[in-house]
A and B are shown apart, each in its own frame.
Chain A
Amino acid sequence: MIRSRWTSVPAVHLVLLLAALYSLLPLVWLATSATKSLGEFSTTSPFELGQWHLGANLAALFAQEGGIFLVWVGNSAFYAGGGAVLGALICAACGYAIAKTRFPGRRLLFALTLAGVLVPTTALALPLYLLASQLRVVDTALAVFLPLLTNPFGVYLARVYAEAAVPDEVLEAARVDGAGELRTFFAVALPMMRPGVVTVLLFQFVGIWNNFFLPLVLLTDPELFPLSLGLFQWSTRQSQFPQYTPLVVTGSLLAVLPLVVAFLVLRRQWRAGLAAGSAR
């Protein structure tokens, strides 16, 4: 077999290397820039480390506006962590109920869930804001938490997992043993669906951590901001106040790190979720 020049081993790896550099260099830049003072952005080369200003940058970041950055970290952790755990459980229960129980309105609920997957956030933001202001919950954590909790695609995935991983015979056996229906779900079905539920949880965590539009629309009180919204707001000030630049850069690095770590640790669940996503 004759191999052309373009499919030779070095050529293939050169292309992959270029793609990897394109993907990683902006993040490397973020890491090296977090070590620089404002002045060093123009005096040092882009990928060179600064005079090790990271400590000073971190101190400034945590001190800015009475330590609001840590409040944002806490908010993001609360929205994403709480939303992912609670949301995955709600999705699992609903997916299981649609797949394995019979209740009136089951088909309608599933059809509406599929329709819900299609609705873009852009179309929801304004009516959610107006509804929240009528209910007087604008600028509360609840107003942003409940919409983020709603994950129609998670229900769709959970239904697929429940159908695939929970055999009817096992449920029958549990019932014969006298377990109630709710107990059967929590003690028998949920553990069997665990890999799928972890995937839903992971995707919902990242989805909420990354969500920007809803908090932007529903929140004005900085005390309630998630990280991405807080950093965005600082970034809009830097044309007038350049001292915000090192703060936003250092804060961005801290916002990316937990996701990179979560991704590297939970690679397998990612892949399972992506495979499911590609089949939808």
Chain B
Amino acid sequence: MSVPVPRGPAVATPPAARVPRRRERGVAGLLLAGPFALLLAGTVLAPVLYALYLSLFTERLAGLGFDGPRQVFTAMGNYAAVLGDRAFHDSLGNVALFALVHIPVMLGAALLLALLLDSAVVRLRQLWSLAVFLPHVVPVVIGGLVWAYLYSPGIGPLAAVLPFDPLSDVGVLPSVVNMATWQWTGYNMVIFYTALQAVPREVVEAARADGAGPVRVALSVKVPMVRPTAFVALVFTVIGSLQLFTEPLVLRGFTGSVTSTWTPSLYVYEAAFIAGDHGRAAAASVLLAVVCAALSALVMRLSARRSG
């Protein structure tokens, strides 16, 4: 099967330059950019094109099936199959519910903690920010395993303390939300705190001089000024939520309540590597990538407009 591998800029030779120095500079540029250009072409661009190609084909057994499966062009058939698949709908429903709880809780907590760190009265600022950021440096798999143990009756304390079973059918959603919130609150807190540092002190002082209390200053002066940062964080969190994969996969080893197609990413994994339906898996992953890219493009457009 021929795969259209996009050529990087490495093929074209620079136009004959009058100054040999300039040509040397062009060649040096190619040499320096070449390794990355090849990596990008081989490990990102070629796979993306290949996924698009795969998504248009399906495997059918020809005749009595003795010849093995044959690749058959289906045009949008795989996309239709994915969009009509109950399991795919359920996976979208799960990440939608997850995002609905996780995003306000996590970003709200991150913003609150950043405002507290930025307030005038706080002591040991460095210590708090280090402590809350630390979960972010824990690998997602390890963080997932630690929480899964904490949820497990007989091993961790949470099953006995919580009013519900964190590994039951209704319990896994809050459990996964908690895993992601633990990992990402500190990261976004530091992002917000960095943005708050850029708020001009004179503006804050002026508001104080006008008699605004600390809460009023935070809500009416500081929060509006970090709104662009919050917007970017929001979109990246939405994209991250859409791609939710590792936390539910880890939990699958501890409870049967997480199905093999619990999130869209798990759906892709299941279709590709368990069901072996490459066309359907490719179509689902293309759909997922298009939604993520559209959201990213939206945030880039909006932030460019703001700074431009």
Give residues in A with beta carbon < 8 Å to B: 1-4, 6-7, 9, 12-13, 15-16, 19-20, 22-24, 26-27, 29-30, 33, 41-42, 45-46, 90-91, 93-94, 96-98, 101-106, 108-109, 112-113, 115-131, 134, 146-147, 149-150, 152, 155, 175, 180-182, 185, 206, 209-210, 212-213, 217, 227-229, 231-232, 235-236, 238-239, 245, 248-249, 252, 255-256, 259-260, 262-264, 267, 271, 274-275, 277-278, 280
Contacts and interface: CB of A to CB of B under 8 A. Distances in A.
A137 B77 CA distance: 31
Contacts of A117: 296
28 contacts: A1-B211, A7-B214, A12-B119, A13-B122, A15-B113, A19-B113, A19-B132, A24-B134, A29-B146, A29-B149, A91-B36, A97-B30, A101-B28, A101-B32, A103-B33, A106-B29, A118-B293, A123-B48, A123-B51, A123-B285, A124-B47, A126-B272, A131-B47, A149-B39, A181-B24, A213-B245, A252-B145, A260-B137
Contact of B282 (A127, A175, A256): A127
Contacts of B269: 122, 125, 217
A238 to B, nearest CB: 7
B29 A13 contact: no
B45 A112 contact: yes
Instruction: Please indicate which of the listed interface residues A29, A239, A245 has the most CB atoms of chain B within 10 Å of its own CB.
Output: A29
Given A126-B268, A150-B43, A105 B9 contact: yes
Given A102-B25, A252-B146, A256-B142, A278 B194 contact: yes
B293 to A, nearest CB: 5
A268 B295 CA distance: 31
B9 A209 contact: no
A127 B185 CA distance: 33
Nearest to B243: A120
Contact of B26 (A27, A104, A134): A104
B68 interface: no
Main DSSP-derived SS at the A contact region: helix
A278 B289 CA distance: 22
B157 interface: yes
Contacts of A252: 142, 145-146
B48 A127 contact: yes
Contacts of A236: 252-253
Contacts of B211: 1
B260 interface: no
Given A24-B131, A131-B46, A175-B21, A102 B35 contact: no
Nearest to B266: A122
B185 A210 contact: no
Given A4-B213, A20-B128, A94 B32 contact: yes
B26 A131 contact: no
Contact of B145 (A90, A235, A263, A271): A235
Contacts of B147: 26
A219 B8 CA distance: 28
Nearest to B242: A120
B36 A155 contact: yes
B156 interface: yes
A16 B218 CA distance: 17
Contact of A182 (B31, B42, B47, B250): B31
Interface in B147-166: 147-150, 154-157
B78 interface: no
Contact of B273 (A102, A217, A227): A217
B33 A131 contact: no
Given A126-B285, A146-B39, A277-B191, A131 B28 contact: no
Contact of B42 (A26, A42, A146, A235): A146
Interface in B240-258: 243, 245-246, 249-250, 252-254
Closest 6 CB pairs of A and B: A105-B9, A181-B28, A101-B29, A103-B29, A127-B47, A94-B36
B134 A23 contact: yes
A149 B38 CA distance: 11
A14 to B, nearest CB: 10
Instruction: Please indicate which of the listed interface residues B22, B141, B297 has the most CB atoms of chain A within 10 Å of its own CB.
Output: B141
B9 A104 contact: yes
B42 A109 contact: no
Contacts of B214: 3, 7
B17 to A, nearest CB: 10
A9 B213 CA distance: 14
A213 B268 CA distance: 12
B109 A19 contact: yes
Nearest to A16: B128
